[in-house]
Amino acid sequence: MALARFLRAFFLQHRQAYFGAIGVLLIVGVLNMALPWWVGRIIDALRAGELDTHALLLRVALLGMVGLLLYGLRYLWRVRLFGTSYRLGIELRDRFYAKLTRLDPGFFQHHRSGDLLARASQDIDAIETAAGEGVLSSVDGALTLLLALGVMVVGIDAPLALLALVPFPFMAWGFYRVARRVQTHFGESLERFSQLNDRTQEAIGGLRMLRQNSLVEAEIHDFETRARAHTEANFRVQRMEACYDPVVLLALAAATLLTLTVGSWRYLTEVITLGQLTSFTLYLVTLIWPMFALGWCLNILQRGEAAARRLDEFLDEHEAIVDHGHRSHPATPTLRLDIASFTYPGAGSPALRDLHIELPAGHTLGIVGATGSGKSTLLRLLLRQYPLTDGTIYLGGNELSEYTLTALRESFAWVPQDPWLFAATLGENVALGRPDATPAEIRHALDQAAFTTDLAALPQGLETRIGERGITLSGGQRQRVALARALLSPAPILLLDDTLSAVDQGTERRLLDTLAEQQGRTCVIVSHRLSAVAGADYLLVLSDGRVVEQGNHAALLAHEGHYARLWRYQQSHRNQQESTS
Ligand SMILES: Nc1ncnc2c1ncn2[C@@H]1O[C@H](COP(=O)(O)OP(=O)(O)OP(=O)(O)O)[C@@H](O)[C@H]1O
């Protein structure tokens, strides 16, 4: 059982807190059982005329004090038990997040973020509930049941107690049937919730596009269908859960009927006293809680099991990139790529093949090529986002896998084609890789990234909140903010994926000057615009995953191949634009 595995490890780790809570629960259980016994004794003493008013008041006052004590103890175990179970939620969310950071992009191609969010929220909540409410209802319920039965059998009337128990096996059978169905339906409900979550996320992300293409009506219809499917699945769970109460009440009603009928006869035949019959009936009433607790507990455990299976599946997900490296940062940021072939998982043909190049520290490599030729793939392999099985990449003379993933990630400052900005302030976004950077350093990085004029136009400067994914900025602004982030980070290697494509020629010039000033930093620049890489120490021209030309700008022009033709075309286009402006 997946749930048992999660809970066992957690209980062992927090056994002190659990023992403490269960200890208090035991005291509460015993005191709870003492009360009906005491009431019965008082009634018998009253009937026998053994109690005067003073003695009666004293006993009643004592009963009240025990009630108050129970109240305080109940508060104590609640704080201890639930306080501990909340920690399970935190621990599982930490494991979930850590796992997410280890998974490669291939995983995210096949898993939807709405589903992952549902697992991180609803599923973990259900497991956490099992560690808190589940433990409470099972321990408290079982304890009350055992104590009440013990007193009824040993202390009052064993035959009557056994008779009162006759309906309960039927109740257990009913519970078993209901519980199995609850688990199935709850698993289904979680699945539907994942789908709904996923759809909601997509709809929010693509709202503008949907509006523009008059697809809102269709989207609403689709959303409604999924929402209904989730509600129906939830309703099926509720319908099943609603069966617990009637089963308990039926069993208790039958037990009470048997007790009153046979109990009255035993009182009349003087086998038991009136006080004992009263106590017995009160104990029978105390059985209501364990019975409901049993149903409640089964319900929580079945929900928890369904959620734990889904979480387990995620945590067991195969990690294509294993963090077995032992090296910290490279001594020098040299790069050597020996790629025989690389094929994306599940793809039919290689995205890169026969690519061999060495780049000394502090040098710049420019990569050009048609769309889909493998430029971004090369950067992804440098970042070790995918495992390279047919070839090796060396950083500072060592294979990438020899570095810890943290060290490797800290070695590269990557500006992807579509950079991710967080819903934080502009300053916080720039300082992501160096949270201790001063405002002056952040401004300097933004200045280097040609963002000075844009910054002046923002109402609150560095403190401006830029919205989810930087929605308040233009595509070009987002790229320059991401570039500023990379420039500010201490990483010795810059990877720029078409970062200069959305800027005008003047800005491109300034950015290239900035990059040229990055003393000692190794740069890999991917670009469709050749002017952005013409100054690179070395150039690769890719086509369909292969290197078709390589050398520096002058050599490639002299070669009179694809690069030279494209250069002349882009230059004449540029001249035309300059003469018309
Ligand atoms: N995750 C992936 N799974 C399978 N195939 C992929 C994946 N990412 C890219 N590809 C394929 O690999 C090839 C190279 O893609 P890549 O993104 O490296 O091209 P690119 O040269 O950067 O293109 P662009 O200039 O349009 O960004 C393409 O055929 C693409 O369809």
> Could you give the number of structural domains in the chain?
2
Q: Which of 377, 501, 524 to mutate to test the pocket of ligand 1 (most atoms within 8 A of CB)?
A: 377
> What per-residue confidence (pLDDT) applies to 546?
94
Q: Does residue 388 sit within a domain?
A: no
- The label of the residue with tokens 């060396």 reads 394
Establish whether residue 546 lines the binding site of ligand 1, counting it when its CB lies within 6 angstroms of any ligand atom: no
Establish whether residue 406 lines the binding site of ligand 1, counting it when its CB lies within 6 angstroms of any ligand atom: no
Query: Are 200 and 105 in the same domain?
Result: yes
> What per-residue confidence (pLDDT) applies to 94?
93
> What per-residue confidence (pLDDT) applies to 532?
86
Establish whether residue 527 lines the binding site of ligand 1, counting it when its CB lies within 6 angstroms of any ligand atom: no
> What per-residue confidence (pLDDT) applies to 212?
66
Q: Which of 373, 382, 540 to mutate to test the pocket of ligand 1 (most atoms within 8 A of CB)?
A: 373
Establish whether residue 38 lines the binding site of ligand 1, counting it when its CB lies within 6 angstroms of any ligand atom: no
Q: Is the dihedral of CA 259, 265, 269, 270 positive or negative?
A: positive
Residues 6+ apart with CB under 8 A from 390: 339, 340, 341, 342
Residue of the nearest CA to atom 14 in ligand 1? 374
Nearest to 191 by CA among 123, 127, 242, 125: 123
> What per-residue confidence (pLDDT) applies to 214?
65
Sequence length of the chain is: 581
* Ligand 1 mean position, distance from CA 351 (Å): 7
What's the pLDDT tens digit per position in 41-59?
888 888 888 888 888 888 8
Query: Are 482 and 414 in the same domain?
Result: yes
One-character DSSP codes across 76-109: HHHHHHHHHHHHHHHHHHHHHHHHHHHS-HHHHH
> What per-residue confidence (pLDDT) applies to 193?
84
Query: Are 81 and 157 in the same domain?
Result: yes
Q: How many CA atoms lie within 13 A of 232 on its CB side?
A: 6
Q: Does residue 101 sit within a domain?
A: yes
User: b/e for 442-459, b at 16 or more Cβ within 10 A?
Assistant: bbebbebbbbeebbeebe
Cα angle at 541 between 537 and 546, to 5 degrees?
A: 130
* Ligand 1 mean position, distance from CA 375 (Å): 8
Query: Are 67 and 166 in the same domain?
Result: yes
> What per-residue confidence (pLDDT) applies to 336?
95
Query: Are 290 and 365 in the same domain?
Result: no
* Ligand 1 mean position, distance from CA 568 (Å): 26
> What per-residue confidence (pLDDT) applies to 384?
92
Secondary structure, 3-state, 53-69 = HHHHHHHHHHHHHHHHH
One-character DSSP codes across 282-348: HHHHHTHHHHHHHHHHHHHHHHHHHHHHHHHHHHT---SS-----B-S-SS--EEEEEEEE--TT-S
Nearest ligand 1 atom, CA 369: 21
User: Are the C-beta atoms of 89 and 124 separated by less than 8 Å?
Assistant: yes
Q: Does residue 380 sit within a domain?
A: no
Query: Are 367 and 288 in the same domain?
Result: no
Q: Does residue 381 sit within a domain?
A: no
CATH of the domain at 484: 3.40.50.300
> What per-residue confidence (pLDDT) applies to 544?
92
What's the pLDDT tens digit per position in 328-346?
888 888 999 999 999 998 8
| Reported ipTM | 0.97
Q: Which of 376, 380, 497 to mutate to test the pocket of ligand 1 (most atoms within 8 A of CB)?
A: 376
* Ligand 1 mean position, distance from CA 376 (Å): 7
- The label of the residue with tokens 């035959």 reads 159
> What per-residue confidence (pLDDT) applies to 213?
66
Distance CA 354, CA 352 (A): 7
| Lateral strand order in the sheet of 538-543 | 412-415, 493-497, 522-526, 364-369, 538-543, 546-551
H helix runs in 405-451, sequence order: 405-411, 426-430, 439-448
Query: Are 414 and 309 in the same domain?
Result: no
Q: Does residue 191 sit within a domain?
A: yes
Query: Are 202 and 271 in the same domain?
Result: yes
> What per-residue confidence (pLDDT) applies to 274?
85
Nearest to 44 by CA among 386, 275, 369: 275
Count CB neighbours of 430 within 10 A.
Answer: 28
CATH of the domain at 253: 1.20.1560.10
Q: Is the dihedral of CA 378, 379, 380, 382 positive or negative?
A: positive
Query: Are 300 and 432 in the same domain?
Result: no
Mean pLDDT by 10 residues, the chain (581 residues): 88 89 85 81 85 87 89 86 89 92 82 84 91 84 84 85 84 82 83 82 72 71 84 85 82 86 87 84 80 80 88 89 86 91 90 94 92 93 91 93 91 89 88 89 91 86 80 83 92 90 78 80 91 90 93 91 90 74 61
Residue of the nearest CA to atom 16 in ligand 1? 374
Establish whether residue 349 lines the binding site of ligand 1, counting it when its CB lies within 6 angstroms of any ligand atom: no
Establish whether residue 351 lines the binding site of ligand 1, counting it when its CB lies within 6 angstroms of any ligand atom: yes
Query: Are 369 and 304 in the same domain?
Result: no
**Helix, strand, coil distribution of the chain in percent, nearest 5:** 65, 10, 20
Domain span including residue 498: 361-373+405-580
Query: Are 410 and 307 in the same domain?
Result: no
Distances (CA, A) of 184 to 2, 140, 306, 315, 534: 15, 27, 7, 21, 62
| Lateral strand order in the sheet of 335-342 | 352-359, 335-342, 390-395, 398-399
Q: Does residue 378 sit within a domain?
A: no
Q: Does residue 66 sit within a domain?
A: yes
User: Are the C-beta atoms of 426 and 458 separated by less than 8 Å?
Assistant: yes
Query: Are 439 and 294 in the same domain?
Result: no
Round to the nearest angstrom and report the end-to-end CA distance of the chain.
71
* Ligand 1 mean position, distance from CA 278 (Å): 80
Is 421 in a helix, a strand, or coil?
coil
Q: Does residue 389 sit within a domain?
A: no
Is 526 in a helix, a strand, or coil?
strand
Is 549 in a helix, a strand, or coil?
strand
